[in-house]
């Protein structure tokens, strides 16, 4: 099975390419900086998709500004589906976010809603994987929620997971039959957003204060207690936050030594 991983140089994409290869599949990383493939312009797509049975889209927009992110997911997804039809690709797998359909107040999530709709209304058999927030994203979440003085976050629940577990789950789905539907994946334990971001910053010796603010928004959207929490059928990754923290702290120490 040849699979093409769009965004194969990214956080999830690079792990996914390795896992697919370890499982004995041919996996090609495709992105502007890996193989000169650009889904926005179509550059390199026809060549990359030749002979592919599966395309896994784990790309992300370089800019999260409302218009830019909408243009990215809309144009890229349209191009991908068109080139996949010409190449005879039989399975389009896309990584999205748990709760996307509940977050239309956010420009980023409006773009993910459009991405999902294009896939669902297209002709290519598909599997949409909605993942919860990655542990690796917590620092960036602090950065985008920082008002210059404090990190302000709603105290809503979420159930984040390790990027490694995301890649494992996406790899399994890519190797299977299209489900023509959506699968949710999440982490093993729920937390409050402010609580976990505070713990992550402490582990990084980042002294910024994290405040639970009921008026704070998440990526521009107001959250209810369970907006970000997956349903009871979600497939849960094994890695607990404390285990990941020890591993990632250990890795960071090894790099600086
Ligand atoms: N962050 C979270 O907590 C979270 C949670 C659930 C789901 N997700 C979803 O997970 C997906 C992947 O996220 P990530 O953090 O792994 O992304 P990432 O590390 O930021 O990587 C983004 C990838 O997209 C590629 N890319 C950018 N522009 C492209 C273009 N024009 N054509 C083709 N590829 C392009 C980049 O390639 P170059 O390196 O070559 O530029 C890179 O490989 C996203 O769709 C996101 O919505 C994220």
pLDDT (tens digit, 9 = 90+) per residue, 6-60? 999 999 999 999 999 999 999 999 999 999 999 999 999 999 999 999 999 999 9
Pocket test for ligand 1, best of 7, 38, 227 (most atoms within 8 A of CB): 7
**Tens of pLDDT, residues 29-43:** 999 999 999 999 999
Place of tokens 């984040």: 160
β-strands 191-192, 157-158: how paired?
A: antiparallel
Q: What is the pLDDT of residue 256?
A: 45
Q: How far apart are CA 247 and CA 236, in angstroms?
A: 19
0.85 surpassed by pTM:
yes
**Tens of pLDDT, residues 63-118:** 999 999 999 999 999 999 999 999 999 999 999 999 999 999 999 999 999 999 99
Q: What angle do CA 41, 45, 50 make, to 5 degrees?
A: 165
State the distance from the centre of ligand 1 to the C-alpha of 156, rounded, in angstroms: 25
Q: How big is the chain, counted in residues?
A: 257
Which atom of ligand 1 is closest in space to residue 39's alpha carbon? 32
Residues with CB under 6 A from ligand 1: 6-7, 9-13, 31-34, 37-40, 58-60, 62, 95, 97, 112, 131, 133-134, 137
β-strands 26-30, 2-6: how paired?
A: parallel
The overall average pLDDT reported for the chain is: 96
Q: Which residues does 205 contact at the CB level (< 8 Å), separation at least 6?
A: none
State the distance from the centre of ligand 1 to the C-alpha of 59, rounded, in angstroms: 3
**String of b and e for 134-160 (b: at least 16 CB within 10 Å)?**
bbbbbeebbeebeeeeebbbbebbbbb
Q: Which residues does 183 contact at the CB level (< 8 Å), separation at least 6?
A: 127, 128, 129, 130, 169, 173, 235
Residue 250 above 90 pLDDT? no
Pocket test for ligand 1, best of 10, 139, 197 (most atoms within 8 A of CB): 10
State the distance from the centre of ligand 1 to the C-alpha of 190, rounded, in angstroms: 24
Q: Which whole-number Å values give the CA distances from 236 to 13, 162, 195, 202, in the listed order? A: 20, 11, 21, 26
Q: What is the pLDDT of residue 248?
A: 80
* CA-closest residue to ligand 1 atom 11: 58
Residue 253 above 60 pLDDT? no
Q: Which residues does 238 contact at the CB level (< 8 Å), separation at least 6?
A: 165, 188
């Amino acid at each position: 099975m040849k699979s093409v991983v769009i965004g194969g140089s990214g956080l999830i994409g690079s792990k996914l390419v390795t896992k697919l290869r370890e499982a004995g599949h041919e996996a090609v990383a495709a992105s502007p900086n890996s193989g000169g493939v650009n889904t926005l312009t179509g550059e390199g797509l026809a060549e990359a998709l030749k002979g592919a049975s599966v395309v896994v889209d784990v790309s992300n927009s370089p800019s999260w500004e409302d218009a830019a992110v909408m243009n990215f997911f809309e144009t890229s997804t349209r191009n991908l589906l068109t080139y996949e039809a010409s190449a005879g690709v039989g399975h389009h797998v896309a990584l999205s976010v748990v709760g996307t359909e509940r977050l239309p107040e956010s420009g980023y999530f409006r773009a993910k809603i459009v991405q999902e709709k294009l896939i669902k209304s297209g002709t290519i058999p598909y599997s949409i994987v909605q993942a919860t927030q990655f542990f690796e994203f917590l620092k960036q979440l602090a950065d985008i929620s920082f008002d210059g003085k404090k990190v302000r976050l709603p105290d809503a629940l979420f159930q984040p997971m390790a990027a490694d577990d995301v890649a494992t789950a996406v790899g399994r789905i890519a190797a299977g039959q299209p489900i023509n539907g959506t699968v949710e994946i999440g982490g093993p334990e729920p937390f409050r957003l402010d609580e976990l971001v505070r713990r992550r910053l402490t582990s990084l010796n980042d002294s910024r204060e994290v405040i639970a603010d009921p008026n704070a928004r998440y990526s521009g959207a107001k959250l209810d207690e369970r907006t970000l929490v997956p349903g009871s059928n979600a497939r849960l990754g094994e890695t607990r936050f404390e285990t990941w923290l020890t591993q990632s702290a250990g890795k960071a120490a090894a790099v600086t030594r």
